[in-house]
Structures are given as C-alpha cells and as structure tokens.
Amino acid sequence: MPDFLKHLGTEAQCEAALEQARWPQGFVCPCCRATGASVFIVGSHKMFQCRACRHQTSLTAGTLFQSTKLPLTTWFLAIYLISQEKTCLSALALKRYLGIRYPTAWFIQHKLMQAMSERETTYTLTGHVQVDDAYLGGELSGGKAGRGSENKVPFVAAVSLDDKGHPLRIKLTPVSGFTLKAISSWANANLAPNCSVSSDGLACFTAVTEAGCQHHPIVAGGRKPKELPEFLWINTNPNKFLF
Ligand SMILES: [Zn+2]
C-alpha cells in the first residue's frame, strides 16, 4: 500500500499513468489516428486537440473512466484493492475503504470486473497448460463434494506454464457440464492450437485434441491428483480452488 500510494497517490500521478498506458508513443487522435496534439487545461483536466483534424478529446474519453465525476485516485485505489484481494472484494468493503457511497462502490466494482472479464476473453492459453474440473458455490447446501455435486456451478480451471513450470496465466470458465462437447468448445475458444494439455483421467478432457492440442492424462496411481507435481498450480478441493 505505501508503495502504491507513493507512485499513484495523487491525481497528477494517476493522469500521467493513464496517459502513458493509453498513448505509450504519445498522443494518437481517436478520430484520424494522426499524432501530435495541443494540450490545454479545462477545469482541472487535460484536454487534447488533434493538430490534424482539430478533434478535441479528454484523457478519459473512450476509456473505463469516461464521464466519471470521481477522481482518478479513487478509481486507481479501487483497482489496486480489487486486484490485491485473494477473494472477491465486496462492494461494501470497497465503500468503506474508499469512503464513497454504496451505489458508487457497486458501480465501480461492476465496471472493473466487466473490464477484466472483457480483457480476459481476448487471451488464449499457450504452451503447457494444466486443466482441472472445479466447482464453485453450494458450500452451505450440505451437498455432495466435487464431481456430481448439486447446487454447484461447474467450471474449467486452466493455467498455462512457462518453460520453468511457473504459472503465466489462468482462466476460469463456467461450462454447462463436463462433456466432450462442452470441453471441445471450451478448448477452441480458450486454448491456442498445439498446446500441451495435462489433466487427470476425467474422460471429457480428451476433447482438447479437437482444438488441435495434445492431451496428456495423468493417472494418479493411488495418489490424489492434487498430490502430484503435475497439478501443483491447479490444485482444487471440492469447494474452494487454490492456486
Ligand atoms: Zn485527428
């Protein structure tokens, strides 16, 4: 937190970070793609006027923060808090941390989660990928654990690894069920062709081959899959998943 506040604790620092993220090579006009702008200040905000077509745009126009009345420091702190939390940060907690009204906290939370979700869909996992079946919810229902449980949402948990076996990127995708058809369509949408996929012996995971991937089922041989090194990063238990 002190480190975060040191680098992104003021409005000017947040504006500079947003400008750098949005236009790393300098201003690009959202209308005509020309570079170069005249910069002027309106209120407390920077405005950019394209030198080619004279289109005026603000730093936040067309971004997640468009038309916001909140300072960027509030948004950036919300991003920090949400991204640091291991479990989901509630809108109520966000309200308390940021000192804002509950509806505003709820709005920020949903906007950020939507942005994260949209960004995630643009990635596919590459290289070596560990996959497992996982189930979310139903903790208080007293239902059966793991596969075949009622009241739980099934999803595929997948993590891609680098050459040293360290995790790069995860994907958690709800699926209709663990059928060959569902896994085939999941693999086509989420895996790059030629991935090398490890899973336990659950039959449906053979369908990753339909997306051009190789499949390596690991047979536990009396040990629980979560005790095997092949599943180090995708270690799930019936109700909670841990990475
Ligand atoms: Zn322009």
Does an H or E element contain 131, and which? strand 128-136
**Ligand 1: centre distance to CA 65 (Å):** 21
Regarding whether 221 and 155 lie in a shared domain, the answer is: yes
73: in domain: yes
**Ligand 1: centre distance to CA 27 (Å):** 10
d(C-alpha 213, C-alpha 198), whole Å: 10
Whether residue 229 is predicted with pLDDT greater than 70 in this model: the reply is no
Which pLDDT belongs to residue 78? 95
Does an H or E element contain 168, and which? strand 167-174
Regarding whether 177 and 118 lie in a shared domain, the answer is: no
Quote the domain boundaries for residue 35. Answer: 27-59
Which pLDDT belongs to residue 149? 55
Sequential DSSP letters for 211-231: GT-EEEEPP-TTS-GGGSGGG
Whether residue 243 is predicted with pLDDT greater than 60 in this model: the reply is no
Regarding whether 147 and 110 lie in a shared domain, the answer is: no
137: in domain: yes
Arithmetic mean of pLDDT over the chain: 85
Task: Kindly report the CATH number assigned to the domain that includes residue 179.
Answer: 3.30.420
How many structural domains does the chain have?
Answer: 3
**Ligand 1: centre distance to CA 136 (Å):** 48
Q: For residue range 199-211, list pLDDT tens digits in order.
A: 888 889 999 999 8
**Ligand 1: centre distance to CA 59 (Å):** 14
157: in domain: yes
Residue entry with tokens 């062709």: 193
* R_g of the chain, CA atoms, integer Å: 23
**Ligand 1: centre distance to CA 39 (Å):** 13
Compute φ and ψ for 132, nearest 5 degrees.
Answer: -155, 160
- Say which residue, 20 or 67, is predicted with more confidence: 20
User: pLDDT tier at 240 (50, 70, 90 boundaries)?
Assistant: very low
Regarding whether 112 and 51 lie in a shared domain, the answer is: no
Which of 59, 76, 104 is at the close of a domain? Answer: 59
d(C-alpha 182, C-alpha 32), whole Å: 43
**Ligand 1: centre distance to CA 47 (Å):** 13
Instruction: Look at the pTM and tell me if it is higher than 0.85.
Output: no
**Ligand 1: centre distance to CA 164 (Å):** 46
Residue entry with tokens 């409005």: 11
Dihedral sign for Cα atoms in the order 132, 137, 140, 141: negative
161: in domain: yes
Which of 87, 106, 122 is at the close of a domain? Answer: 122
